[in-house]
Each structure stands twice: as C-alpha cells, then as structure tokens.
Amino acid sequence: MSVLIGIALKSLLIAGLTLGLLQLMKSRSAAERSWVAHIGLFALVLMAFAPLVLPSWNIETPSLFNSAAEPAATVPAPAAAPVVATNPAVTTTAAKSIAPVASSTLPSLNPVAAAMALYALPAAILLLITFLALARLIALQARADVLVDGHWLSALARAQRRMGFKHGTALLTSNELASPISWGVIRPVILLNSRAVEAADEAEAIIAHELAHVARLDWVKLLLARVATALFWFNPLVWLLAREAHQLREETADDTVLAANIVDTDYAQLLVGVARHECPGLLLGAHGVAPSKSSLARRVARVLDGKSIRGPVARPFALGVFVGAVLVAAPLAALTLTPATPKAPRLALARTVAGHPIAPYYPETPVTPEAPTDLGHIIATGVSTGVNTAVAAATAIAPTVAQQDEGNFRVESPNGSTVEGKNGVIVARSPSGATSTIYPPDKDGRRKIVAVAPNGARSVTYSYDRSQRHNPEIDRIIEMKAVGVTPEYIGQMRAAVPRLNGLQFADFTGMKAVGVTPDFARSLVAAGFPSITAEELTEARAVGLTGDYVRAMRSAGVSGDLDDFVQLRAVGVDPAFAARVRASGIKNISADDLVEMRALGGARPPLPPHAPAPPRVKVEVDPGG
C-alpha cells in the first residue's frame, strides 16, 4: 500500500511542477511549451518504470501512511497447562471422533492485493483502449486508396522540401473518416477524406498541418500521453497535463501552417469548417486537422493573433529542460516509501511441566515476498489478482470438499446440499430432504441408482458406466467387425489402391458398408483411375459405377474424369444411348450434354438423315419399233 501512496505523491509532484512551469511560460512559443509538457509526461513514465534498473532508496514513512500495514505484533498469552490423560486409549478415540468440517466461505483478499487490483484494472482497460484504437487505424489504412491527384502530391512535395523532411509519406484517401488525420514514424501516413480531396484549394494548409505532426514525431508524443494517463489514471493533474500537451501539439502545427505563407483568416475558416467533422474515436491514436469543440476558440484566436510568438524550440533550451527533468525524476523514481515497523521485544517464558523445563518460545516473524515497486509489475500483479479473485468469487457458490480420506469424501454446498462418498457408494442429499444413492458398477458395468423423494416415494433405475464398457476405440472395433472389415480386407484394398495406405483402420468402414470390394477397386484402377480416393470409391459404388461401364462409355466416344462418369451413371446414361447420339452425327458431345439430354426425358437422339431416293425415270416403249 505504501508503494502506491508513494507513486501517487510522486505523480502529483511531477505533474504539478510541469503545469506550474507551463503557466509561467505563457509568453513563450507553442513549440517550447509543448516540449516542456511532453518532457513532463516523459518524466512520469520514467518514474513509473525506473525502479526496474535504479537502486532503491528506502525511506521509512510516519504512521500516517502505515494504516494499511500489518498490525503490531502482540505477545502471545501463556498456554494453559496440558491435561494428562489417564487412559491413552480414551484420548486417542476422542481425538479421532472430532472431524473438522470446513465451511464454504467467500475468498478472502489481502488489503494490499485489493488496492493493487483496484489500481491495475482501470490502467489495463485504458491501455487496451489505446491498443484497439491503433488496430483500427491499421485496418483503416489497409482499406484506404492511394491518392494520385497531382495537386495534392505537389502540395506534399513542397511541404516536405520546406520542412527538410526527406522520409517518404503515404498519401491515402478513404470514405470512412470525416476529417484528415495522420500517424506513424517510420512509414508515416496522411489519410484524407473524400470532402478534403475535393477541396483542392485547402491542400497546402491541410498537408502543412499534418506533415508538421509527422516531422515533429507527434505520434510518439501522443502515445506517450496515452501511456501516462493510463498509468496515473487516478491523478487529475496528469489528465490536465495530457490535455494541455495535445493542445500545444496542435498549436505548434498551426504555427507551421502559418509559416508556409497561408493566410491566417483562410486557415481560421478552415478550422471552423472542419470542427464539425471531428473524429474523436480515431484521434485516440492519431492527429487530425479538426479541433475539438473545447479547443476551437483558443486555436482560432491564436491563429488570428499576429503578436503570438511562433518560433521553433532552441536546442540549448530543449537540452536543458530534458536534463532538468531527468535530474528530478531519477531520484524520485529511486525513492521508495517503506512502512516503519516497530520492533517488538521478544518474550521468553520459562515453563515447566511435571517438573521438566521447556525451552523458551520465540514467535517467528513471517517472511513476506517483496512487493513490486514499478508500475509495470504492479499492473500485472493487480490484474492477475483481480481476475483470480473474480473467478474465486464466482465459483464460491460451488460445492467445496469438506473431508476426504482414502477415496471417501464429503462435499458441502452453501445452499445446504451435501454429497458423500464412502466405499464407492455416493449419496446426495438436497435441502428438501430428497436423497439419491448411486452404487458402484457391477461386473456388467451397470450402476444401481435409488432415488427417494421427500414424501418417501422410491425409484430404482440402472445406468451403464460408459467409462468401463464403451471405450471409443472398442466401439470402432465393434463397428468394423459388424460391417465385415477384417485385416485381410484392409490389406487387399491397400494392395489394389496404393493411395489407401495412409488411411486408418476405421476409415475402411464406410467403403465396406456400401459394398466396395478389392475387385471393384481394381476394376476402377484398371479403367484409368489409379489415384482414386476412399470417398470416390464409396461414391462410385453407391451409384453403380464399374470399370466395365467406364470402358464401354469411352468406346462410345465419351471422355471425362471420374466425376463425369459418376454423374452419367447416376442419371442413367448407358453406352447404347451414347452410341445412338454419336451415330446421329454429333461427334464432340460432352458428358454434360448427355446428362442434359437424358434429363429432358430420355428422348431418343435424332437418327441421321437418309440419302434421297434416285428419281424415277419413265420409259416409254414404241409399239411400232
């Protein structure tokens, strides 16, 4: 608990100092104030994880911070003199007759572990929300289109040349967002919406603003703020600092736009216009031109204020702020507040029993594992504790084992029901008085179940112990034997079709059930299907396809694969039908054509036309000749 209190005090100090310094720097440029704000956020994150590598500087805290510490040790009262039993047998019997029964209670939670869980769960949720926002950006980029408009590409090239930014920047467009956004470091992305693409006159201002975020690594600063607010979610000063840092990042980008000779009034109108299309969900992981409703007035007023200082950050100033932050954050990170534990004097009590001295007793101080001092381990421990406690609380209503001895047990549920097992007999009793007795399985695997209702009604049933009688492997063997699958059958099938060598024994059951024999398989292999599978053999046998049928159909001029012949056989196309179709003059008929002709009613194919009869010549005989 003292660790969490110490971290809270440190975060208040760092965030408060940074906000105070920003208040004193109102006359400085937005770039310099933004640097100070983000160095403050960096100091917070550094303070959270530095205990992993820095030596610990322990300072005992006053009693004010020790409310959650362990209670003071108390001196144990002298134990009563033991009673000597005159009859050892009676004593042993009495001891064995006492059977403590553990009651079902809700899981207890250490106050320190509870505090860690209460802190860690909101922090983990905030980190998860940031991760989901980044995943949404990645998905949005994958669905976006590359922008090839010459006006926008020229604006991007001019802005890169003016800022000295030589890294490639992807310029994409998407209809899934309302205003332009940017993110990334190694492969930065500027994503425009369709409305922005149509407003070509605003290209210079939009590109300059988003490229300013990219060039200044503002995406890394945004993630830094997200991590800081997640780690110190309980500190309102950290939230104020993160919001001010975001505002200063946008104001610095606005200064970059004005430095590109963009008219301030035109840019102010642009900010007012895009403010209606803010993307708050996407801005959890990216930057955008559109200002929030709370920052619009401040940004517009600053854009139109010609007296505002808009210079960049000087390197000496940036280095001095960074060194100062490290010098403040490092000692704070090493500082660990530890509770002051008063040393209780050891009490030695000389005792004698029956005139024999007993050695003095010193209560041992329990050794507790060292608590983590960095927020990373605290979050991991707290989340684990919270999840385990929730699971334990959810299962607290489940029955708990009260006694267990060599196979005998007793289970009690919070609702009053019990389950007892003794010598293999299980008796379940409900709070209403109903009982159910389950006896061990007999030699045939049957279990006798006797149920007695609260009114005395009695019912006797039997069930099989499938764990003893119905092993899945035994069931498969029985099934194979029932359909006639033998080792000889499997060997002959594998010899007929080598592709079946990889099948298991149980896979031959389906083929045997439909009548697939080794001779049947060999006939199809000989018909030109050496790589036929078990499924194809089963299908062919089901429709009556044989090797002789395939050869006869090929002789009739029909070609195709196994599926074609299965289909022909299924609809009843025989070799004679195929021969008549070919004799009709149709030479290149396919299997699909034959199936279609057969499906149309099985009409006989048209016969070939007969040759025309020769003309009849009338011969007249001259009677006088």
DSSP string, 397-464: TS-EEEEEETTEEEEE-TTS-EEEEETTEEEEE-TTS-EEEEPPP-TTSEEEEEEE-TTS-EEEEEEE
**Average pLDDT for residues 258-281, to the nearest whole number?**
79
**Average pLDDT for residues 183-201, to the nearest whole number?**
84
**Average pLDDT for residues 562-571, to the nearest whole number?**
85
The reported pLDDT for the residue numbered 223 is 93
User: Lowest mean pLDDT: which of 55-69, 211-225, 563-577?
Assistant: 55-69
Asked whether 302 and 28 are in contact (CB, 8 A), the reply is no
The reported pLDDT for the residue numbered 571 is 80
> Which pLDDT tens digit goes with each residue over 332-363?
777 766 655 555 444 444 444 445 454 444 44
The reported pLDDT for the residue numbered 345 is 47
- Extended beta strands in 164-259, E state: 170-174, 181-183, 189-193
The reported pLDDT for the residue numbered 520 is 92
Which amino acid is it at 293? Answer: K
**Average pLDDT for residues 587-600, to the nearest whole number?**
76
**Under DSSP, is residue 157 helix (H, G, I), strand (E, B) or coil?**
helix
| Percentage above 70 pLDDT, the chain | 67
Higher-pLDDT residue of 254, 616 = 254
The reported pLDDT for the residue numbered 87 is 45
Q: Is 78 exposed, middle or buried (0-12, 13-18, 19+ CB in 10 A)?
A: exposed
User: Lowest mean pLDDT: which of 404-408, 510-514, 540-544?
Assistant: 404-408
What would the two tokens of residue 621 be?
Answer: 């005989």
The DSSP 8-state label assigned to residue 348 in this structure reads -
How many alpha carbons fall within 13 Å on the CB side of residue 312? 10
Q: Identify which of 63-67, 395-399, 456-460 has the greatest average pLDDT.
A: 456-460
Q: What is the mean pLDDT of the chain?
A: 75
Confidence band of 32 (pLDDT split at 50, 70, 90): very high
Strand-pair category, 351-353 with 181-183: unpaired
The reported pLDDT for the residue numbered 230 is 92
Confidence band of 61 (pLDDT split at 50, 70, 90): low
The reported pLDDT for the residue numbered 479 is 57
Confidence band of 238 (pLDDT split at 50, 70, 90): very high
Q: For the CA atoms of 582, 583, 584, 585, what is the dihedral angle to 10 degrees?
A: 70
User: Lowest mean pLDDT: which of 266-270, 419-423, 556-560?
Assistant: 419-423
Q: Is 164 left (phi over 0), alpha (psi -120 to 50) or beta?
A: left
> Which pLDDT tens digit goes with each residue over 375-389?
666 777 767 666 666
Higher-pLDDT residue of 619, 512 = 512
Q: How far, CA to CA in Å, does 415 sit from each of 412, 435, 451, 559?
A: 8, 15, 20, 75
Strand-pair category, 425-429 with 435-438: antiparallel
Q: Identify which of 11-15, 238-242, 378-382, 456-460 has the greatest average pLDDT.
A: 238-242
The reported pLDDT for the residue numbered 229 is 93
Higher-pLDDT residue of 619, 219 = 219
| Percentage above 90 pLDDT, the chain | 13
The reported pLDDT for the residue numbered 227 is 93
What would the two tokens of residue 548 be?
Answer: 């002789």
The reported pLDDT for the residue numbered 50 is 76
* Residue among 531, 577, 536 at smallest CA distance from 557: 577
> Radius of gyration (Cα) for the chain, nearest Å?
44
Higher-pLDDT residue of 537, 611 = 537
In Å, how far from its chain's centre is CA 441?
44
Please determine, for residue 84, whether its predicted confidence score (pLDDT) is greater than 70: no
Confidence band of 572 (pLDDT split at 50, 70, 90): confident
The reported pLDDT for the residue numbered 544 is 87
Instruction: Mention every residue, 6+ apart, whose C-beta is less than 8 A from residue 259.
Output: 310
The reported pLDDT for the residue numbered 1 is 58
The reported pLDDT for the residue numbered 466 is 47
What would the two tokens of residue 135 be?
Answer: 């995943």
The reported pLDDT for the residue numbered 19 is 94
The reported pLDDT for the residue numbered 24 is 92
> Which pLDDT tens digit goes with each residue over 271-325?
888 776 666 666 677 877 777 777 888 888 888 888 888 888 888 888 998 898 8
The reported pLDDT for the residue numbered 405 is 56
The reported pLDDT for the residue numbered 342 is 53
Higher-pLDDT residue of 443, 140 = 140
Q: Is 281 exposed, middle or buried (0-12, 13-18, 19+ CB in 10 A)?
A: exposed
Please determine, for residue 220, whether its predicted confidence score (pLDDT) is greater than 90: yes
User: Lowest mean pLDDT: which of 94-103, 166-175, 255-264, 297-306?
Assistant: 94-103
